[in-house]
């Protein structure tokens, strides 16, 4: 029976190959929003675990100003309840292809540098603000862990001095100060006292506000990723219709088999085996595709570049951090979402065919 089913598949190889590719493609499209949502929440958690309790920036009437580090730290440390003050250098600059977020890392020496997202590792123009030395080996001191990749796409870390040069920060100044307090309930009181402690007008952002900003962004990105379900849904409907139509076209063959003495059970078994021969390769191909597009090396990830358009990313997707639970549940959900309707349509057609009279088939009446 298995060889009969295999022979059936091989009689129309192109049609079945297309079906396998379509099913695998739909699985990848359906898994995308689930994988992105999981990765975004893990990324936000990783980023915020090291976020300061308060971020303070100097704001003059003309806009943001660099904040002098020494007097800034001194003023912040004078407030009871402040346990740590971090000067930070970061900002958006014109990259070789599109804007980049640059972070100054004190742990990187001036001529050693940083990491560069895969999307920018080549094709740097010689007259760019960047030097090729700016993008060398990935450093373990990179302040953003791989979990943060979905939220830090197009972010590079440079040496403290180099970042200052690119961001036009005068010597001894920073973009902002990150302030930590021990008890979260002290934040409000510390903020009040901080604004009086600085000799310049300042603007503050608390951890809670940062958290809600992130949540809003993550939910927007997650919703955007859900759009990729629309083509998957349309594709699934078309596939179910194609399966039903294909089965209807095979009625004469089913009628002949019944006339030759095949029982309803035989017809059902044959249909089931035929379905397995399509579904198993489709699942394997889908799993391989998901692994390549979301977790694989850059050339494979560039296949998923259209998904990055939802987030305003350029080039290949960032590799998502692998989480077995997230990946497993996304794969299972996508598989169920895509394969169940296919299995249902196939079995429904098989049941109807097995229950009909052979004469009706041969005369062209179909399965009903």
Partner 1 sequence: MKKSRFRQILCSSLCTVVISAFFFIFGGGITAAGSGPQPGKMGLDEAGRMQVSDGDRCPVCAMNVIKHPKFASAIQLKDGRTFYFCGTGCMIRSWLHPEVFLGAEKDQLQKPVVKAYFTGKEMDAREAIWVAGSDVIGPMGPALVPLKDEAELETFRERHGAKATFRLSEMDDEKWQAITGKKAVKEK
Q: Per CB under 8 A, which region of 59-67, 78-86, 253-261, 341-349 contacts partner 1?
A: 78-86
Region from 11-19, 185-193, 297-305, 309-317 binding partner 1, contact rule CB under 8 A: 185-193
Complex with partner 1: residue 80 or 213, whichever CB lies closer: 80
Place of tokens 């391989």: 288
Tokens representing 202 are 């300042």
Torsions phi, psi for 104 (to 5 deg) = -85, 125
Q: What CA–CA distance (Å, rounded) separates 244 from 348?
A: 9
Task: Yes or no: say if 95 and 153 are a contact pair by the CB < 8 Å rule.
Answer: no
Nearest to 113 by CA among 88, 70, 86, 142: 142
Between 30 and 187, name the residue whose CB sits nearer to partner 1: 187
186 binds partner 1 (CB under 8 A): yes
Residue 194 or 275: the one with the smaller Cβ distance to partner 1 is 194
Range in contact with partner 1 (rule: CB under 8 A) among 17-25, 145-153, 171-179, 181-189: 181-189
Q: How far is the CB of 325 from partner 1 (least distance, A)?
A: 21
Could you tell me the smallest distance in angstroms from the CB atom of residue 56 to partner 1? Answer: 18
Residues 6+ apart with CB under 8 A from 155: 100, 101, 102, 103, 117, 144
Q: Count CA within 13 A, CB hemisphere, residue 302.
A: 7
Nearer to partner 1, 17 or 80 (CB): 80
Spatial distance between the Cα atoms of 298 and 18, rounded to a whole number of angstroms = 26
List the one residue from 4, 77, 81, 205 that touches partner 1 (CB under 8 A). 81
Number of residues that bind partner 1 (CB under 8 A): 8
Neighbours of 358 (CB within 10 A): 16
Lookup: tokens for 70 = 């020494």
Binder to partner 1 among 170, 185, 265, 324 (CB under 8 A)?
A: 185
Identify the H or E element spanning 268. Answer: helix 264-290
Residue 182 as a binder of partner 1 (CB under 8 A): the answer is: yes
Q: How far apart are CA 229 and CA 36, in angstroms?
A: 12
Q: Any bridge partners for residue 54, and if so which?
A: 179, 206
**From 79-87, 156-164, 218-226, 255-263, span contacting partner 1 (CB under 8 A):** 79-87
> In whole angstroms, what separates CA 3 from the centre of its chain?
41
Q: Does 189 bind partner 1 (CB under 8 A)?
A: yes
- CB–CB of 149/221 below 8 Å? no
Binding range to partner 1, per CB under 8 A, among 13-21, 177-185, 209-217, 301-309 = 177-185
Q: 80 vs 133, which CB is nearer to partner 1?
A: 80
In terms of CB distance, is 192 or 215 closer to partner 1?
192
Residue from 80, 237, 284, 332 binding partner 1 (CB under 8 A):
80
Nearer to partner 1, 51 or 264 (CB): 51
Q: Read off the tokens for 223.
A: 């919703």
Report in angstroms how near the CB of residue 53 gets to partner 1 at its nearest: 12
Query: Nearest distance from residue 224's CB to partner 1, in Å?
Result: 36
- Distance, in Å, from the CA atom of 190 to the CA atom of 185, rounded to the nearest integer, reads 9
d(CA 163, CA 102) in angstroms, rounded, equals 7
Cβ proximity to partner 1: between 138 and 183 the closer is 183
CA dist 8 and 254 (Å) reads: 12
Q: Using the rule CB under 8 A, which residue among 83, 213, 284, 340 binds partner 1? A: 83
Residues that bind partner 1 (CB under 8 A): 80-81, 83, 182-183, 185-186, 189
């Amino acid at each position: 029976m298995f060889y009969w089913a295999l022979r059936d598949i091989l009689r129309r190889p192109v049609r079945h190959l297309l079906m396998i590719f379509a099913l695998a493609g739909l699985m990848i499209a359906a898994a995308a929003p689930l994988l992105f949502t999981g990765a975004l929440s893990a990324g936000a958690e990783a980023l915020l675990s090291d976020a300061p309790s308060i971020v303070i920036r100097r704001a003059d009437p003309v806009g943001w100003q660099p904040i002098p580090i020494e007097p800034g730290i001194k003023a912040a440390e004078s407030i009871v309840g402040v346990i740590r003050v971090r000067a930070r250098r970061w900002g958006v600059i014109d990259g070789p292809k599109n804007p980049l977020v640059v972070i100054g890392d004190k742990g990187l020496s001036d001529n050693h540098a940083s990491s560069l997202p895969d999307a920018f590792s080549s094709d740097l123009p010689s007259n760019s603000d960047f030097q090729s030395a700016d993008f060398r080996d990935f450093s373990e001191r990179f302040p953003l862990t791989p979990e943060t990749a979905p939220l830090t796409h197009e972010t590079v870390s440079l040496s403290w001095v180099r970042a200052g040069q690119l961001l036009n920060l005068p010597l001894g100044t920073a973009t902002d100060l990150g302030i930590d307090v021990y008890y979260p309930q002290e934040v409000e009181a510390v903020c009040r006292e901080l604004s009086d402690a600085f000799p310049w007008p300042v603007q503050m952002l608390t951890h809670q506000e940062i958290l809600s900003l992130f949540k809003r962004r993550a939910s927007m990105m997650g919703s955007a990723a859900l759009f990729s379900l629309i083509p998957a849904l349309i594709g699934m409907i078309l596939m179910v219709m194609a399966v039903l139509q294909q089965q209807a076209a095979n009625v004469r063959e089913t009628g002949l088999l019944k006339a030759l003495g095949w029982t309803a059970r035989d017809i059902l078994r044959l249909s089931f085996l035929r379905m397995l021969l399509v579904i198993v390769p489709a699942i394997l191909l889908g799993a391989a595709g998901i692994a390549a597009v979301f977790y694989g090396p850059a050339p494979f990830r560039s296949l998923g570049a259209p998904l990055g358009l939802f987030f305003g990313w350029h080039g290949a997707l960032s590799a998502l951090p692998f989480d077995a639970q997230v990946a497993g549940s996304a794969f299972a959900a996508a598989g169920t979402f895509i394969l169940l309707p296919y299995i249902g349509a196939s079995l429904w057609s098989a049941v109807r065919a097995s229950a009909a009279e052979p004469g009706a088939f041969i005369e062209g009446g179909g399965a009903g």
